[in-house]
Amino acid sequence: MAKKSDEKFIIKRSGYPSKGEIVIGTVTRVLDFGAFVSLDEYENREGLVHISEVAPGWIKDIRDHVKKGQKVVCKVLDTNPKRGHIDLSIKDVNERQRREKVQQWKSEQRAFKWLEIAGEKAGVSKKELFEVGKKLLKEYDTIYGVFEDVFYEGHKAILDIAGEKLAKAIEEIAKENIKPHKVEIRGIFQLKSNAPDGIERIKSALLEINNLSLDGVNIKIDYVGAPKYRIIVESEDYKTAEKALKKAVDKVLKKIKKLGGEGTFEKEV
Hey, is 28 helix, strand or coil?
Answer: strand
pLDDT digits (tens, 9 = 90+) for 87-106: 999 999 999 999 999 999 99
Burial 102-123 (b: 16+ CB within 10 A, else e): eebbeebbebbebbbbbbeebe
- Phi, then psi, of 179 in degrees rounded to 5: -100, 140
Hey, is 95 helix, strand or coil?
Answer: helix
Give the neighbor-by-neighbor strand order of the sheet with 218-225.
218-225, 228-235, 183-192, 262-267
For the purposes of burial, counting CB atoms within 10 Å of the CB of 49, is it exposed (0-12), middle (13-18) or buried (19 or more)? buried
How many structural domains comprise the chain?
3
Please tell me whether residues 152 and 188 are part of one structural domain: no
Q: Is residue 1 part of a domain?
A: no
Residue 45 sits at the vertex; the CA angle it makes with 27 and 147, to the nearest 5 degrees, is: 95
Position 5 scores a pLDDT of 47
What is the rounded distance in angstroms from the CA atom of residue 128 to the CA atom of residue 176?
Answer: 24
Please tell me whether residues 161 and 203 are part of one structural domain: no
Position 122 scores a pLDDT of 96
Contacts (Cβ under 8 Å, ≥6 apart) of 137: 11, 13, 143
Q: Is residue 2 part of a domain?
A: no
Instruction: Print the domain residue range for 78.
Output: 22-92
Global confidence as pTM: 0.67
What is the rounded distance in angstroms from the CA atom of residue 45 to the CA atom of residue 178?
Answer: 31
Last-in-domain residue among 177, 198, 232: 177
pLDDT digits (tens, 9 = 90+) for 222-249: 999 889 999 999 987 888 889 999 999 9
Residue 67 sits in a domain whose CATH number is 2.40.50.140
Going by the DSSP 8-state scheme, the letter that residue 55 receives in this structure is S
Please tell me whether residues 164 and 198 are part of one structural domain: no
- The dihedral region occupied by 231, where left means phi > 0, alpha psi between -120 and 50, and beta the remainder, is beta
Please tell me whether residues 81 and 157 are part of one structural domain: no
Please tell me whether residues 79 and 133 are part of one structural domain: no
- Per-residue pLDDT tens, the chain, 269 aa: give them: 444 445 789 999 999 999 999 999 999 999 999 999 999 999 999 999 999 999 999 999 999 999 999 999 999 999 999 999 999 999 999 999 999 999 999 999 999 999 999 999 999 999 999 999 999 999 998 999 999 999 989 999 999 999 999 999 999 999 999 987 788 999 999 999 999 999 999 999 999 998 887 777 889 999 998 899 999 999 878 888 899 999 999 999 999 999 999 999 999 87
Position 4 scores a pLDDT of 46
> In this structure, which long-range contacts are made by residues 45-51, counting pairs with CB atoms below 8 Å and at least 24 apart in sequence?
45/16, 45/17, 45/86, 46/86, 47/23, 47/74, 47/76, 47/85, 47/86, 47/87, 47/88, 48/85, 48/86, 48/87, 48/88, 49/74, 49/88, 49/89, 49/90, 50/87
Q: Is residue 8 part of a domain?
A: no
Position 6 scores a pLDDT of 53
